[in-house]
Structure 1
Amino acid sequence: MITNWSGSVRFSPHQSTQPVSEEDVVTLVKQARKLGSSIRVMGSGHSFTPLIETDAILVSFDQLQGLDDVDANKRLSSVWAGTKLKALGELLFQKGCSLENLGDINTQSIAGAVSTGTHGTGTRFGNLSDQLESITLVTADGKIRTCSREKDEELFHATRVSLGSLGLITRMQMRVEPCYRLHYKSQRLPLQTVLDRLEEFKTKNRHFEFFWFPYTETTQCKFMNKTNLPPTKRNGWSAFNKWVLENGAFWCLSEVARQIPRFSRWVSQISAKGVPQFEEVGESHALFTTPRLVRFNEMEYSIPAEALPSVIEEICRLFHKRPFYVHFPIEVRFVKRDDIWLSPAYQRNSAFIAIHMYKGMPYQEYFHAMEQIFLQYDGRPHWGKTHSLEVEELRRRYPRWDDFQRIRQQLDPDGMFLNPYLKRLFGK
């Protein structure tokens, strides 16, 4: 039995395989074509939607990891698709390089992260897919194709966020920077202060995000900027905060909320009072990410960045009108506009709002109510997170939807890379 990270998806594939070379991937695709079998790839199973679910062939690229090449002068790195983000950061650091930006979870494979539009935060930066310079994939006819802005530009725009539906991505070339350090600051601030100073916080910091605790006026703000200061000496506080407070203590409080749901508001208030205020300096790949051991279900939507204050007001009204048993904070991040056809940030600077519910607690009613607010403000779902949209609604929200489907039909007319979930999304 295969499960995703949250346990919300469970399935048993007919066959599981781990190719060890690009040639193995070609052979696998050709064999599947002869058998009329579908194929899905599993990265780290960190999507909350059934993207990986299949009763046919499930492929893991755990044997296709590492750096294929690094050119520090051109600031380019070629990466094998199965490489986990944690390993990628460390491997690049050994070569004197770093990624432009990362999300706060580093357990995903790089191919899974870019294929779903995974992102970090910072108004100067797009999602991870926007850092790609070229992609190599094996298509349904068993051919190896490489696309970039200079070569097969339409395929490049479609493939960077493709949900694994255009072929099996084997390698990608990414932009990198010389290694750099970040100065990280965690601060507890009132929500109204954050909204009043939002443009300042967004524009004067390389990276800015905040967490708002439901049923409180409290946020945890995280600021990160480049620095030449030496790394912070290990005094134990950072590790204590990340592993004991943000994971161990929060897990205990979450269990209380799960067993006695009416205590959720109290748990949120306790968590808000415990927001740590500290500063730290470290290498970028280490500070971008935070360990997440407390499991949950998640929904995340992109909205136009300028709509964020109005959406926050709507959420406040919702909480007063319909109290929910929720204690996880609401996360807000910022992403620069891009030209990737299925990117939630396509042609607009975006604010991403993520909501969470502790594993084992009912989330459907809460997610549905919040989704209605996001949709009122032209929301687009994160592809790896829970949402309820299907083909006609998605077509209306993604201007290049039909162009993507045209490319997909050309590359995979028989639907080798689709599963039931994707067929429903694409109307097939």
Structure 2
Amino acid sequence: MLLMTERRKKWTNWSGSVTATPELVKYPTTIDEIVEIVHNECVIGGKYLRMVGSSHSFTPVAASDQVLVSLDGLQGIVSMDVDQATAVVWAGTKLKLLGELLHESGLAQENLGDIDVQSIAGAISTGTHGSGHRLGSIATQVIGITVVNGLGEVMECTEQSHPDVFKALQVSLGTLGIIVQVKLRLRKSYVLSYESKRMDLSDCLTQLPGLIERNRHFEFFWFPYAEACQVKLMNETGSPISINKVSDFVNERLIENTLFGLLSGMCRLFPAVSSTISRISASSVPIMTKANYSHNIFATQRTVRFNEMEYSLPADCMTAVIREMREAMEREKFHVHFPIECRYVAADDIWLSPAYGRDSAYIAVHMYRGMPYERYFQVMEEIFLRYEGRPHWGKMHTLKAADLKKRYPMWQHFEEIREQMDPNHVFLSPYMSELLEDEPGRTEIT
């Protein structure tokens, strides 16, 4: 079967922070085609290969100047067991489509993040997460993975059949192989109530223990140079679906996207107004409630583009870190108006998960696309690192292998599995080599 191929077409990620010009872009639609690509282009051809889903990572994790494989042709449900609440899905399936397909059969994922444009493989491979102190990242929902390794071999892995390989694959950054199918542990469809409200940040921090414990999902957004913050609460409910399309349109389309986009453009032209815009945004936080099926509640539309850095920290560090961040903002007077997103995620046992071995607080900082972010992110990162921070793999950070390996107790075990799965390093781009190898330099294929 002929594979769709494009040559020397420029690729860029969602925010525009990363570009590449791959020699070949492949769009496989079967596992056999993927095996053929790995064998012909990498094992024989000596090229390295990276995979791309929705290009939503802010780092060059998907970038390739040699071979880029798009998973867009691998979408949909492969098989489903409604009674056991499991499903095998193609790796390129976008989370929005997945939620809709599962719901048609009365099933749902137990948790999602607030963006649903990513592919399921991209989401798990980078440790993408939602909120909820009793709930893990999306990768914790995975119970089986089918992958084409660096030798072109197809492997079906579970925690029972390949315990070490499976733990490495759950968050693997695409360095162990091309994930082609994912088996998910699901649950019956359920309705979530959603509440958005304003609180003073000081009150929110004081009430953190209760807000965390009483709610299935709790997150908050605090605005630089403002006192008010937005608190979002989501809980399972037996109440009927209750939505207001007009209110949703006004809040989510007009205010949070169209108006915020216009204000962001003003900040880019006149950076000195950023603090004022931040305070205006804080005072405009929507106060609302609604209820809907979970896949319709988790995600929010994002049309205003930005760059982002996010770190995982020990859960009990949230308040101390925020205080240091506020002090740094007052001292440095950064021109920033985007709110800081704060969430909690349960500990897991996935080797390269930022939440490995500890209940985690996640803090994300953003800067509007086109505005300088380097100094702002640098100062925030220095704070995160003092508190044993681990970066989100799909978000901006400056760490390399030498420092990363100190933050992950199972790093060496992952490296051993990577050598088994990809002995010729066909999945190591220059960026991935810097991320994973103490002495960067991709091994030549022989």
TM-score under structure 2 length normalisation: 0.95
Q: Which residues of structure 1 form unaligned runs of 5+? A: none
In the alignment, what sits opposite 1:14? 23
Q: Which residues of structure 2 form unaligned runs of 5+? A: 1-9, 441-446
Tell me the amino acid that sits aligned with residue 207 of structure 1: H
Tell me the amino acid that sits aligned with residue 18 of structure 2: V
In the alignment, what sits opposite 2:111? 101
Structure 2 SS opposite 1:122: coil
In the alignment, what sits opposite 1:251? 261
Deviations 1:21-50 (A, max 9, x none): 111111111112111111111110000000
In the alignment, what sits opposite 1:231? 241
Pick the aligned partner of 1:398 from 408, 412, 415: 408
Check 1:198–1:233 CA distance in 2 against 1; reply closer, same or farther (3 A cut).
closer
Structure 1 SS opposite 2:61: coil
In the alignment, what sits opposite 1:55? 65
Greater mean alpha carbon deviation, residues 230-239 or residues 143-152: 230-239
Deviation at 1:154, TM superposition (A): 0.3
1:419 aligns with 2:423: no
Q: Report if the CA contact (8 A) 2:243-2:292 is conserved.
A: no
1:36 aligns with 2:61: no
Pick the aligned partner of 2:36 from 10, 21, 27: 27
1:330 aligns with 2:340: yes
Pick the aligned partner of 1:211 from 211, 218, 221: 221
Pick the aligned partner of 2:102 from 88, 92, 98: 92
Greater mean alpha carbon deviation, residues 141-150 or residues 340-349: 141-150
C-alpha separation between the residues in 1 aligned to 2:155 and 2:185? 20
In the alignment, what sits opposite 1:387? 397
Tell me the amino acid that sits aligned with residue 250 of structure 1: F
1:346 aligns with 2:352: no
In the alignment, what sits opposite 2:6? none
Structure 2 SS opposite 1:298: strand
1:77 aligns with 2:81: no
Check 1:408–1:233 CA distance in 2 against 1; reply closer, same or farther (3 A cut).
closer
Greater mean alpha carbon deviation, residues 344-353 or residues 70-79: 70-79
Tell me the amino acid that sits aligned with residue 353 of structure 1: I
Deviation at 1:15, TM superposition (A): 0.5
Check 1:146–1:211 CA distance in 2 against 1; reply closer, same or farther (3 A cut).
same
Structure 1 SS opposite 2:285: coil
1:267 aligns with 2:284: no
Deviation at 1:234, TM superposition (A): 3.2
C-alpha separation between the residues in 1 aligned to 2:29 and 2:329? 51
C-alpha separation between the residues in 1 aligned to 2:18 and 2:420? 30
C-alpha separation between the residues in 2 aligned to 1:289 and 1:411? 34
Deviation at 1:8, TM superposition (A): 0.7
C-alpha separation between the residues in 2 aligned to 1:84 and 1:421? 25
Pick the aligned partner of 2:311 from 298, 301, 307: 301
1:131 aligns with 2:141: yes
1:283 aligns with 2:299: no
C-alpha separation between the residues in 1 aligned to 2:104 and 2:34? 29
- State the superposition RMSD in angstroms: 0.8
1:185 aligns with 2:195: yes
In the alignment, what sits opposite 1:165? 175
Tell me the amino acid that sits aligned with residue 419 of structure 1: S
Tell me the amino acid that sits aligned with residue 302 of structure 1: S
C-alpha separation between the residues in 1 aligned to 2:254 and 2:130? 24
In the alignment, what sits opposite 2:5? none
Deviation at 1:409, TM superposition (A): 1.1
Query: Which 4+ residue blocks in structure 1 deviate beyond 3 angstroms?
Result: none
C-alpha separation between the residues in 2 aligned to 1:336 and 1:262? 39
C-alpha separation between the residues in 2 aligned to 1:267 and 1:148? 49
C-alpha separation between the residues in 2 aligned to 1:404 and 1:212? 36
C-alpha separation between the residues in 2 aligned to 1:53 and 1:282? 37
Number of aligned residue pairs? 428
Tell me the amino acid that sits aligned with residue 280 of structure 2: I
Structure 2 SS opposite 1:236: helix
Deviation at 1:335, TM superposition (A): 0.5
Structure 2 SS opposite 1:361: coil
C-alpha separation between the residues in 1 aligned to 2:425 and 2:271? 43
TM-score under structure 1 length normalisation: 0.99
Tell me the amino acid that sits aligned with residue 314 of structure 1: E
Deviation at 1:235, TM superposition (A): 4.3
Tell me the amino acid that sits aligned with residue 154 of structure 2: I
